[in-house]
A and B are shown apart, each in its own frame.
Chain A
Amino acid sequence: MATGEVRKRLGLIVNPIAGMGGRVGLKGTDGAAILAEARRRGAVPVAHGRARRALDALGREDAAFDLLAVAGAMGEADALACGLSPRIVVVGGAETTAEDTRDAARAMADAGVDLLLFAGGDGTARDVFDAVGDRVAVLGIPTGVKMQSAVFANGPEAAGRLAGLALAGRATETRLAEVMDIDEAAMVWGRLSARLYGHARVPVARGLTQAAKSGGGAGGDDALDALARRLARTMEVGRLYILGPGTTTARIRAALGLGNGLSGDLLAIDAVRDGAPAGVDLDEAGLLDLIDDRGASILVSVIGGQGFVLGRGNQAISAAVLRRAGTENLVVLASLEKLLALPDRVLRVDTGDPATDRALEGYIRVLTGPDRSTMMRIAA
């Protein structure tokens, strides 16, 4: 690296208890009671091994950077074990807590880190997001029990590699990725309950694999923007268009000239009619009120990484709303890249009403660009 260039800064946070519940049959490790139960069942820390694998992979990239790590078991120990010499951020006491994660993330953001690499699960991702929002790029080393959030790399090595590329200035772009909020208290008892919590900024591995061959750019984003413009241009007079949460539908709001979100909120469900807002930040009752005999289309995206189109972050688009609008008027939009990255390449719905879920089972056309669609199977 040329002298005089500003060295990038990496922040490292390891949640040492993340993932402990998994091996002993618990569905998470959040909260003191669950952690105690995990330890009682003989759980041992798994985060350190996975964090070190990521740091080793990071070390294989030619990135020069300054490292900030949380003191002790929350990062320092793993950095030292991998031959790195971190500057230390001190938080909390002996037993690590969610508050420690938030404090550390905030301190690192204030110290101007270029990337915050954290090892943990969905709970850790949520804590990091709480502290830094989308002002700092973050990347998760998956070590938790559940990784529903789209801020995680596919594995420890992939996380290390991507971090290395970002620090070496070879992955300079970022995108907004979903942070999911899982109700672990419910999960432990076997119920999956999640909602879209927010959008964190993550680095994009553009050029990591494909670019050298294709020279292509972030094609999925361009295709989605073109699709959003097409949809905005071809909206029918009088018809209601319900826009679900997320960055994909936000492109339609932008194409309509209605800003990033009608309510300025990527988590909100909005509706437009004749190019103008018909409702903002709507709940189920609000949606039901707006749907009339002029017809309605429900435009939703796919939650990256888990494939939910209904029931995660858009619960207000309920079975009753779908019935009134007609399930054939459900329109799903996603980039082809997102669809390919889904486990099993299957879409999922969870409207809370098994009959509606069953009615939605089968194949649906997911719009991936103007005049481009991909047939995807919906499994309830």
Chain B
Amino acid sequence: MTEATKQSKLRRYHAARWDEPVIHEMGHPGRRGAVFSQAEEGVRAAVGDAADLIPEAMRRREAPALPEMDEYDVLRHFIHLSQQTLGMMGISLFGTCTMKYNSRLMEGLTARPEVRAVHPHQDEDTMQGTLAMIHGLDRILRALSGMDRFVFQAGGGADAAYTHCCVTRAYHASRGELEQRDEIVTTIQTHPCNAATAATAGFKVVTLMIEENGYPSLDALKAAVSNRTAALMINDPDDMGVYNPEIREWVRIVHEAGGLCFYDHANFNGVMGKLRARELGFDACMYMLHKTFGAPKGNGPAVGAYGCTEALAPFLPSPLVVEDEGRYRLDRDRPQSVGKIREFWGNVPVILKAYAWARAMGEAGIDEASDLSVLANNYMEKGLLAIPGVTKSQPHLTQRRLEMTRYSVGKLQEETGIGIFDIANRMVDFGIDAPWLAHEPWLVPEPFTPEAGELWSKEDIDQWIAVLAEVAREAREEPETVKTAPHNQVVHAFDPAPLEDPDHWAMTWRAWQRKHRKGKHD
């Protein structure tokens, strides 16, 4: 047992469990949240029946099947639902997600009418502040990356990768080489959205395997590139935390073949302030504002900030925010632009949060945060590898991992039959979030990938390690406890097999009724 696990006291957590029906099954006919008074005689005479205001073709033929409830019951139901989550304020070490504290101040700022009520069709003169902020973040990201221009239209990281594919298409088309250059090269450990968006944009995808060094070899890259290469799309470090030190040579080889180089900066936290994509030779890069730059992450609005060199800037999506002698405006007169990747010009509240985060952190703060995230990960690695049955991916590599490390409980599973899904199910019994495992395809058996980041304290990290150590102990001494977990959670163990059965799964209430309530519900 390590120092960390000795000192950490495991919490006797138990989740709230309200055992309530879903909201569609609640309520009572005729119950209402708010009752509106009848319109006055004169108003009715002037306006007519409210229903007539809706065009005939758009009118519902039947009333929607909504639960009939009062406001109090609705609020109570949703509070109960929120109590049944871990609240995203736990020890949430999700690798590649770069979880950060999302300050309440930012929420307050974005709730202000100057932000909330802005509409993209407003006259530019009435939203100079919003445009100034977008331009300001553009400038900050240019400084961090060395690129010449950023655009915030993409609604997430994959959307930014897709932006790059569109820019790549436009760039090669402008040179008359698009037909010839139909391949995009990526690696097995680059986020799968790079391969997926390349394919979506019509490119053939060539994937490089990891080799002895922990990353693909230069020889493999040389064998892959040719006059058909349109672009390289790659991350560095990869999701195992391994940094490829030959990256500058990679970029040179791809450039020599006539391809563009795109740096997927999903794993920026470990290198921010330490390197600039442009200085490594890249033509373009992407940051996730909802991860690295402090805006909330997790199925809410997101932004993939895409930046590129002056040479590629003409192809960027429109409009761009530009500054003319102290006044900001939207530049739509961009004949070579790929057009729209997404509506309007990005999720402005997310841009605001990232801008405020970057301004609050400052250059020195950002630099220090990356140091802390690498330090925290390496501290954590020592504690986790002290747990019997836990191993590191590619254990032969001597170089330090950056902000995260890929581990495996394959050995523990061999010895006990307890795999990573069992462990994840049990860890939530201690009130911490289940670990993120790995992108597919899995390169090591039974993987998990925690990312400590700069947020969590040493005590929190020790707590997380102690929980895993305890679950690993249980796997050996009382495996049934782990196998049948979770026990202290809202939902207990269930059979995941039906999740693969289209006749069983239901994403909406309507689908549920169709598939599971046949004949029972009339």
Contacts and interface: CB of A to CB of B under 8 A. Distances in A.
Interface of A: 56-57, 60, 155, 157-158, 160-161, 169-170, 206-207, 209-217, 336-337, 339-340, 345, 362-365, 368, 371-377
Given A214-B440, A339-B209, A340-B443, 8 more contacts: A57-B417, A60-B483, A211-B500, A212-B496, A217-B500, A364-B223, A373-B206, A375-B209
B413 A345 contact: no
Contacts of A377: 209, 211, 220
Given A212-B421, A373-B204, A373-B206, A170 B442 contact: no
B8 to A, nearest CB: 28
Nearest to A336: B441
B224 A363 contact: yes
B440 A210 contact: yes
A377 B421 CA distance: 33
Q: Is the interface of B mostly helix, strand, loop or mixed?
A: mixed
B499 interface: yes
B427 interface: no
Contacts of A212: 421, 496, 499
Contact of A209 (B219, B415, B442, B497): B442
9 closest cross-chain pairs (CB), A and B: A363-B223, A212-B496, A371-B204, A60-B417, A374-B207, A375-B220, A170-B497, A157-B414, A375-B208
Interface string B140-151: 000000000000
Contacts of B454: none
Interface residues of B, number: 37
B479 A60 contact: yes
A374 B190 CA distance: 13
A311 to B, nearest CB: 22
A375 B495 contact: no
Nearest to A371: B204
B205 interface: yes
21 contacts: A57-B417, A60-B479, A157-B413, A157-B415, A169-B497, A207-B496, A207-B500, A209-B420, A211-B496, A212-B499, A339-B209, A345-B211, A363-B224, A371-B203, A373-B204, A374-B206, A374-B208, A375-B209, A375-B216, A375-B223, A375-B224
A371 B199 contact: yes
A57 B419 CA distance: 12
A211 B495 CA distance: 12
B188 A374 contact: yes
Contacts of A160: 417
A370 to B, nearest CB: 9
Contacts of A375: 206-209, 216, 220, 223-224
Contacts of B499: 211-212, 215
A26 B479 CA distance: 39
- Quick one: which of A60, A215, A337, A375 has the most chain B CB within 10 A? A375
A341 to B, nearest CB: 10
B205 A373 contact: yes
B437 interface: yes
B429 interface: no
Contacts of A371: 199, 203-205
B264 interface: no
B220 A363 contact: yes
Nearest to A208: B419
A161 B442 contact: no
Contacts of B159: none
Contacts of A365: 206, 224
B403 interface: no
Nearest to B417: A60
Contact of B441 (A56, A158, A340): A340
A372 B199 contact: yes
Contacts of B440: 210, 213-214, 216
- Quick one: which of B219, B420, B446 has the most chain A CB within 10 A? B219
B383 to A, nearest CB: 25
A214 B192 CA distance: 13
Contacts of A170: 495, 497
A339 B220 CA distance: 15
Contacts of B441: 336-337, 340
Contacts of A158: 414
B431 to A, nearest CB: 22
A195 to B, nearest CB: 27
A206 B500 contact: yes
A376 B209 contact: yes
Interface in B207-262: 207-211, 216, 219-220, 223-224
A291 to B, nearest CB: 26
B209 A345 contact: yes
- Quick one: which of A158, A160, A217 has the most chain B CB within 10 A? A158
Contacts of A362: 219, 223
Given A211-B500, A215-B500, A373-B204, A155 B442 contact: no
Given A170-B497, A211-B496, A363 B204 contact: no
Interface string B475-514: 0000100010000000000011101100000000000000
Interface in B429-458: 437, 440-443, 446
A170 B414 CA distance: 20
Contacts of A161: 417
A209 B205 CA distance: 26
Nearest to A155: B414
Given A212-B499, A362-B223, A363-B219, A374 B419 contact: no
Contacts of A210: 440, 442
A213 B437 contact: yes
Contacts of A340: 441-443
Contacts of A336: 207, 441
A357 B224 CA distance: 21
